[in-house]
A and B are shown apart, each in its own frame.
Chain A
Amino acid sequence: MDQVRQTKIARLPSLILAAALSSGATFAQVNLGGVWQNQLDEDFPDRLAGPELGDYAGLPINAADRSRGETWDASLLTLPEYQCRVHPADYASAFADIRIWEEYDRDTQNLVAIHLHHFAWGTERTIWMDGRPHPPEYALHTAMGFSTGKWEGDILTVTTDHLKEGWFRRNGLARSDRAVVTEHFIRHENGLTWVTVVNDPAYLVEPLYRSRDYVFSVAGQIAPYPCESVEEIIRPKEAIPHHLPGTNTFLKEYQAKHGIPEEAAMGGPETMYPEYRSKLAGAGARPGK
Chain B
Amino acid sequence: MRNLSSAPRLGLTLLALAGLAGAQPARAPQGRGAPEDFANVEIHTLKTQGNVFMLVGAGGNISVQVGKDGVLLVDAEYPQLSGKILAAIRRISDGPIRYIVNTHYHADHTSGNQNLRKVGSTIAGGNVAGDLGAEASEGASVIAHNNVLGRMSGALGKAAAMPQDAWPTDTYVGDEKKLWFNDEGVEIIHVPSAHTDGDSIVYFRKSDVISTGDLFVTTSYPIIDVAAGGTINGYLDGLQKIVDLIVPVYGQEGGTLVIPGHGRLCDLGDVLNYREMATIIRDRVQDMIKKGMTLEQVKAAKPTFDYDPLYGATTGFWTTDRFVEAVYQTLLPNKERGDGKK
Instruction: Return the CB mask of A85-111 against B: 1 if under 8 Å, else 0.
Output: 110000000000000000000000000
B-side residues, CB < 8 A to A, are: 44, 46, 54, 56, 236-237, 240, 243, 250-253, 257, 263-270, 272-273, 275-276, 279-280, 283-284, 287, 303, 305-310
A-side residues, CB < 8 A to B, are: 62-65, 67-68, 71, 76, 81-82, 84-86, 121-122, 136-143, 164-165, 176-178, 201-203, 227, 237-238, 240, 242, 244-245
A65's contact among B44, B240, B243, B306, by CB below 8 Å, is which?
B306
Q: How far is the CB of B23 from chain A (nearest CB, A)?
A: 28
Looking at chain B's contact residues, the main secondary structure is: helix
A122 and B236 alpha carbons, distance in the complex (Å): 32
> Which of A82, A137, A141 has the most B CB atoms < 10 Å from its CB?
A141
**Please, which residues of chain B bring their CB within 8 A of the CB of A245?**
284, 303
Q: A227-B250, A242-B279 known; 6 other A-B pairs, CB under 8 Å? A: A84-B251, A136-B44, A139-B46, A143-B253, A164-B252, A240-B280
Look across to chain A and name the residue whose beta carbon is closest to the beta carbon of B282.
Answer: A240
A195 and B94 alpha carbons, distance in the complex (Å): 50
A244 and B264 alpha carbons, distance in the complex (Å): 30
Contact indicator B253/A68 (Cβ below 8 Å): no
**Please, which residues of chain A bring their CB within 8 A of the CB of B46?**
136, 138-139
List the 5 closest A-B pairs by CB distance, nearest first: A67-B306, A202-B309, A84-B251, A240-B279, A138-B264
Contact indicator A85/B284 (Cβ below 8 Å): no
Contact indicator A242/B253 (Cβ below 8 Å): no
**Please, which residues of chain A bring their CB within 8 A of the CB of B264?**
137-141
**Please, which residues of chain B bring their CB within 8 A of the CB of A68?**
306
**Please, which residues of chain B bring their CB within 8 A of the CB of A85?**
251-252, 269
A165 and B253 alpha carbons, distance in the complex (Å): 12
> Which of A165, A201, A242 has the most B CB atoms < 10 Å from its CB?
A165
Contact indicator A176/B287 (Cβ below 8 Å): no
A164 and B44 alpha carbons, distance in the complex (Å): 22
Look across to chain B and name the residue whose beta carbon is closest to the beta carbon of A142.
Answer: B253
Q: Contacts A81-B268, A81-B272, A138-B44 given: A244-B287 contact, CB under 8 Å?
A: yes
Q: Contacts A64-B305, A65-B306, A237-B240 given: A143-B265 contact, CB under 8 Å?
A: no
Q: Contacts A86-B253, A240-B276 given: A141-B308 contact, CB under 8 Å?
A: no
20 contacts between A and B (CB under 8 A): A62-B309, A64-B307, A65-B306, A76-B276, A84-B251, A85-B251, A85-B252, A85-B269, A86-B250, A138-B263, A140-B264, A141-B264, A141-B270, A143-B253, A238-B236, A240-B276, A240-B283, A244-B284, A245-B284, A245-B303
**Please, which residues of chain A bring their CB within 8 A of the CB of B265?**
138-140
A109 and B273 alpha carbons, distance in the complex (Å): 42
